[in-house]
């Protein structure tokens, strides 16, 4: 009974940490980035709530969100198996499709590692320097006993929530529509998490040329609220 209680406590503790790490209050600066959504709005690819929902669904199923989740899953496994993280960090960094995308993922990753150091663990030392956000979340979640599936689902939900917030701040949708989008995203997020948890590096890839191009175009956009 005592062992079971300890296991339950450890699982609950991991869940609490995951909630803290992916909370808007966690100081990673995610509110500064839109991953190209701002350009999509400016160039009228996304005009309303339906457009936001479709855009997020595309990224989740075929774009950057899917790739980030795969990298998270691989980093989780690599750490669990006691392997070095250097190779996955290098690959994830190289996969950034634009200068802004590179800056976004590595700055968020570094900020995440720095903030997560409040929960001391040797994994922090192995993530020194520029590290992509998904890799940092995967490795640190693994180090603290958070399951891979929980980590992926929570990460994707946090990212979708961030982009919904971007759409609200850009005036494309209101808070009520934003909440409706989050509610509708639950099933796709869980489906994606289940799929991604079984994937590896050979499954990386995207089919979101417009989204990737808009992320690049944001670099020269005349007026902007977000850093990407």
Q: What is the pLDDT of residues 48-62, one digit of tens each?
A: 999 899 989 988 888
Distance, first Cα to last Cα, the chain: 51
Cite the beta strand spans of 50-191 per DSSP E: none
Which residue, among 79, 74, 104, has the nearest Cα to 91 in the 3D structure?
A: 74
* Structure confidence at residue 218 as a pLDDT band (50, 70, 90): low
**188 contact partners, CB below 8 Å, separation of at least 6:** 57, 60, 61
Q: Is residue 222 part of a domain?
A: no
Helix (H, G, I), strand (E, B) or coil at 175: helix
Helix (H, G, I), strand (E, B) or coil at 222: coil
Q: Is residue 206 part of a domain?
A: no
Helix (H, G, I), strand (E, B) or coil at 8: helix
Q: Is residue 23 part of a domain?
A: no
Q: Is residue 89 part of a domain?
A: yes
Residue with tokens 């909440």: 179
CATH number at residue 140: 1.10.4190.10
Distance CA 221, CA 143 (A): 40
- How big, in percent rounded to 5, are the helix, strand and coil portions of the chain? 70, 0, 30
The pLDDT value given to residue 4: 43
* Structure confidence at residue 73 as a pLDDT band (50, 70, 90): very high
* Backbone torsions φ then ψ of 170, nearest 5 degrees: -85, -5
Q: Is residue 35 part of a domain?
A: no
Q: Cβ distance 118 to 144 under 8 Å?
A: no
Q: Cβ distance 98 to 215 under 8 Å?
A: yes
For residue 198, is pLDDT > 70?
A: yes
The pLDDT value given to residue 203: 87
Distance CA 180, CA 176 (A): 6
Please name the helix (run of DSSP H) or strand (run of DSSP E) that holds residue 210, with its range, or none: helix 209-217
* Structure confidence at residue 115 as a pLDDT band (50, 70, 90): confident
Q: Is residue 96 part of a domain?
A: yes
C-alpha pair distances (Å), 141 with each of 19, 136, 177: 11, 8, 31
Q: Is residue 70 part of a domain?
A: yes
How many domains are there within the chain? 1
User: Helices (H), strands (E): how many in the chain?
Assistant: 11, 0
Distance CA 165, CA 56 (A): 12
Q: Is residue 29 part of a domain?
A: no
* Backbone torsions φ then ψ of 90, nearest 5 degrees: -65, -45
Segment 173-200 shows an average pLDDT of 93
Per the structure, the complete domain to which residue 174 belongs is given by 49-200
| Backbone Cα Rg of the chain | 17
């Amino acid at each position: 009974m005592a062992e079971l209680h300890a296991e339950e406590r450890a699982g609950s503790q991991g869940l609490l940490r995951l909630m803290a790490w992916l909370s808007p209050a966690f100081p990673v600066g995610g509110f500064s980035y839109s991953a190209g959504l701002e350009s999509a709005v400016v160039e009228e690819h996304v005009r309303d709530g339906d457009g936001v929902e479709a855009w997020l669904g595309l990224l989740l199923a075929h774009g950057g969100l899917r790739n980030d989740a795969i990298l998270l899953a691989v980093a989780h496994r690599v750490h669990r198996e006691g392997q070095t993280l250097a190779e996955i960090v290098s690959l994830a960094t190289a996969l950034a499709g634009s200068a802004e995308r590179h800056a976004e993922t590595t700055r968020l990753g570094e900020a995440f590692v720095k903030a997560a150091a409040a929960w001391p663990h040797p994994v922090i030392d192995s993530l020194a320097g520029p590290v992509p956000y998904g890799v940092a979340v995967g490795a640190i979640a693994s180090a603290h006993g958070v399951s891979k599936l929980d980590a992926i689902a929570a990460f994707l939900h946090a990212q979708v929530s961030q982009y919904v917030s971007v759409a609200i701040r850009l005036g494309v949708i209101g808070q009520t529509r934003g909440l409706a989008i989050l509610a509708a995203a639950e099933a796709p997020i869980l489906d994606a998490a289940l799929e991604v948890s079984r994937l590896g590096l050979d499954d990386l890839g995207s089919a979101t040329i417009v989204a990737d191009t808009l992320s690049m175009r944001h670099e020269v956009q005349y007026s902007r609220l977000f850093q990407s």
